Chain A
Amino acid sequence: MGNQAISIKSLEKRFQHKQVIAPLSLDVPKGQLMGLLGPSGCGKTTLIKMIMGMLKPDSGTIQVLDLNVPHKQLLNDIGYMAQSDALYTDLTGEENLHFFAKLYSLSKAERIERVAYAASLVRLTDDLRQKVENYSGGMKRRLSLAIALIQNPKLLILDEPTVGIDPVLKKEIWQELIRLKDQEQKTILVTTHAMDEAERCDQLAMLRSGHIIAQGTPQELKEHYQAKDFDEVFVKAGGDVQ
């Protein structure tokens, strides 16, 4: 048990009569960067929200950092970045960061240090005093990422973190994610539908119509499906379900 950051067992969720998550089991080992790959509408966000304890599963169990979801301690240990930017647009970037830092009960000194760190990480230091409503889409995404990192959590759950971010910054963010994993032993769960990002993950789980259709390292998956790249893996793996 101790080696898994997230452990999901026969999880199920339906909205009205639509099965969104079929009975699904998934383990995310500690200290790894796990990519959750799948097309829009495959249930990625639903799965993430259940791991966060924001949605109640119909059946099955989720354990995060050896605690059963939902658990109060977990809200402190997980850094979360939602798919849509949930920011106070009439406040400045700095005020947004400080607001969330206060919610994690950081002391004033810690707060100032973490705000400065998180802002520099996403290259927003120079724009902190601007109101968020004047930010571009990419800047808002970066600010959301900074907020997810603000309390220095053990586990990062990022729902499509690089949507709307230009390739240069996208590369930098991925470098930073890998650094966080390698040097600070953080576990990271990232959802994406960008195949180039999939290559960078330690582990991949491919989600389609609420099923995990394939799981393994990027290399394993490519070999297994005898594919050159992930677009091909995806098409071939998807064919198995139908």
Chain B
Amino acid sequence: MRISAIITRIIQQMKRDRRTLALLFLAPLLVLSLMYFIFNSNEASVTLVVSNAPAPLIDKLKETDFTIIVDNDFSKKQLQDKEYNGWLAVEQNVSKLTLLNDDPSLAKALTMQLAQILQPTQASIGSMKTDYVYGDQDTAIFDIFSPMLIGFFVFFFVFLITGTALLKERTSGTLERLLATPIKRSEIVAGYMVGYGLFAFLQTIIIVLFGIYVLDIVHVGSIWLVLLINMMVALVSLSLGALLSSFAASEFQMMQFIPLVIVPQVFFSGIFPLDSMAEWLQNIGRIMPLYYAADALNGVMYKGYSLSDIIVNLSILACFAIVFIMLNIISLKKYRSL
């Protein structure tokens, strides 16, 4: 009853605040699209050299967006000199793909599309070996960090909106007034979690569907798992935002948590390769919720993991949420000891 009173109130308030709603639902899509176009802007001009390929394969390749050059006498040196994007040499059992990889996103797009084309006819061509002129397959690319990007936007916008909403409640005195009524501290926190959780849930659905169906971000695994992970991210972010708002005296101070809390998490969520980091640096990453979220999202969307593969990550996220929620309930003691 009391929880539902808070939930109803939050919905009423949010419905009136059109701008915040727009920020919540449209801003992530805008930024996500922008990043998508930035990282994929020259995808159309991919040039692929093909050697010794059977005619049906060449025809199939020509159906793609790639510019296809058939040259049976080609070398890695030529590839490097002429700056073509890739060279596919078909031999008896193994076809060898050499990627220039000067732009990892192009190389990745090429590999992915080739893999799709070659898959049905795999028997005739045999397995594919990939070689790189520059870098290697671990080079970061949009496809790898786009799943993490989805998680990040959910985290960021939910954090921002709940943090400032609860802060407003503290500074306007309404929180204190609330605690002069028989409401339990846990009911306030629960009301907040569910009330803003509803909006976070809608936002998550919109971001995920937009990312997958409009921007065509790779997703190999189940979309339900992607939603589940993002809901968990939203919950962590919701409880963390609410908690940190008790350490801020104004909206301006709330904003100051962004470089402290949000930005470092981005560094540890897969944009930069974690394996090459020093041990102590990797350990810092392990205390950040987005590290686990990005790992799980990447696993599901890019590698096709199932629930059992990401259950550890999900549990850790749940622990973060539970700890933050408990701390929230305790922090309200500042206003009322009961």
Interface-facing stretch out of A9-17, A88-96, A168-176, A195-203: A88-96
- Shortest Cβ distance from A86 into chain B, in angstroms? 4
Distance, CA A124 to CA B335, complexed state (A): 30
| B173 near A53: Cβ-Cβ < 8 Å | no
A168-202 vs B, CB cutoff 8 Å, 1 = contact: the mask equals 00000000000000000000000000000000000
CA separation between A73 and B140, bound complex, in Å?
60
Cα A188 to Cα B316 with chains together (Å): 52
User: Which residues on the A side are within 8 Å of B16 (C-beta)?
Assistant: 90-91, 131
**Contact between A105 and B2, CB atoms less than 8 A apart:** yes
- The answer to whether B2 and A82 touch across the interface, beta carbons within 8 angstroms, is no
Residue of A nearest to B334 (CB): A54
Contacts of B38 in A (CB 8 A): none
- Residues of A within 8 Å of B177, CB to CB, are 80, 82, 86, 147
Q: Which of A52, A75, A103, A131 has most B Cβ within 10 Å?
A: A103
Report chain B residues within 8 Å CB of A147: 177
Contacts A76-B182, A90-B13, A91-B13 known; A102 to B174 CB distance under 8 Å? no
- Count how many chain B residues have C-beta atoms less than 8 Å from C-beta atoms of the other chain: 25
Known contacts A95-B9, A103-B183: A86-B338 contact under CB 8 Å = no
CA gap between A90 and B14 in the complex, in Å? 9
Q: Closest approach, in angstroms, between the C-beta of B168 and any C-beta of chain A?
A: 9
B214: interface (CB < 8 Å): no
Query: Closest B-chain residue to A85, C-beta based?
Result: B173
Whether the Cβ atoms of A88 and B13 lie closer than 8 Å is: yes
Q: Which residue of B lies closest to A106 (CB)?
A: B1
Whether the Cβ atoms of A104 and B9 lie closer than 8 Å is no
What is the minimal beta-carbon distance from A75 to any residue of chain B, in angstroms?
A: 4
Asked if A53 meets B181 with Cβ closer than 8 Å, knowing A82-B176, A86-B173, A99-B9, the reply is: no
Report the Cα distance A147→B177, complex, angstroms.
Answer: 10
Query: Residues of A contacting B180 with CB < 8 Å?
Result: 52, 54, 75, 78, 80, 82
- Taking CB atoms, residues of chain A closer than 8 Å to B62 are none
B188 CB, nearest partner CB in chain A, Å = 10
Interface residues contributed by chain A, number (CB under 8 Å): 29
Cα A88 to Cα B8 with chains together (Å): 13
B12 within 8 A of A: yes
B296 to chain A minimum Cβ distance, whole angstroms, is 36
B117 interface residue, CB < 8 Å from A?
no
Q: Which residues does B use to contact A, with CB under 8 Å? A: 1-2, 4-5, 8-9, 12-13, 16-17, 172-174, 176-183, 335-338
Interface pair B174/A87, CB less than 8 Å apart = yes
A101 to B271, CA, bound (A): 50
Q: Are A82 and B12 in contact (CB under 8 A)?
A: no
Can you spell out 25 A-B residue pairs with CB atoms less than 8 angstroms apart?
Answer: A53-B336, A54-B180, A54-B335, A56-B337, A70-B336, A70-B337, A72-B338, A75-B182, A82-B176, A84-B173, A85-B173, A86-B172, A86-B176, A88-B9, A88-B13, A90-B16, A91-B9, A91-B13, A95-B9, A99-B8, A99-B9, A100-B181, A102-B2, A104-B181, A105-B1
Given A102-B5, A105-B1, A54:B178 Cβ within 8 A:
no
> A82 touching B1 by the CB < 8 A rule?
no
Task: Return chain B residues, CB-CB under 8 Å to A131.
Answer: 16
Contact A70 B182 (CB under 8 A): no
Contact B172 A104 (CB under 8 A): no
A89 partner residues in chain B, CB cutoff 8 A:
172
B5 and A99 contact, CB distance less than 8 A: yes
Q: Which residues of A contact B178 (CB under 8 A)?
A: 103
Residues of B within 8 A of A103 (CB): 2, 5, 178, 181-183
A95 to B12, Cβ gap below 8 A?
A: yes
In the complex the two chains form, what is the Cα distance from A99 to B182 in whole Å?
13
CB neighbours (8 Å) of B338 from chain A are: 53, 70-72, 75
The 9 closest A-B pairs by CB, nearest first: A102-B5, A86-B177, A86-B173, A103-B181, A75-B182, A80-B180, A86-B174, A70-B338, A99-B9
Closest to A107 in B: B1
User: Smallest CB–CB gap between A93 and chain B, Å?
Assistant: 13
Within the assembled complex, what's the spacing in Å between the Cα atoms of A196 and B273? 74
Determine the residue in chain B with the shortest Cβ distance to A95: B12
Contact B12 A104 (CB under 8 A): no
Chain B positions within 8 Å of A85 at CB level: 173
A82-B176, A103-B178 known; 15 new pairs, CB 8 Å cut-off, are: A53-B337, A54-B176, A54-B179, A70-B336, A70-B337, A76-B182, A84-B173, A86-B176, A88-B9, A88-B13, A88-B174, A91-B9, A95-B9, A102-B8, A103-B183
Name the CB-closest residue of A to B169.
A88
Q: Give every chain A residue within 8 A of B181 (Cβ-Cβ).
A: 75, 100, 103-104
A104 touches B182 (CB 8 A): yes
> Nearest Cβ distance between residue A83 and chain B, in whole angstroms?
9
Q: Within the assembled complex, what's the spacing in Å between the Cα atoms of A102 and B187?
A: 13
Nearest CB of chain B from residue A76's CB, rounded to whole Å? 5
Instruction: A105 to B184: give the CA distance in the assembly, Å.
Output: 12
Residues of chain A lying within 8 A (CB to CB) of residue B336: 53-54, 70
Task: Give the shortest distance, in Å, between A77 (CB) and chain B (any CB).
Answer: 10
Question: Does B182 lie within 8 Å of A105, measured CB to CB?
Answer: yes
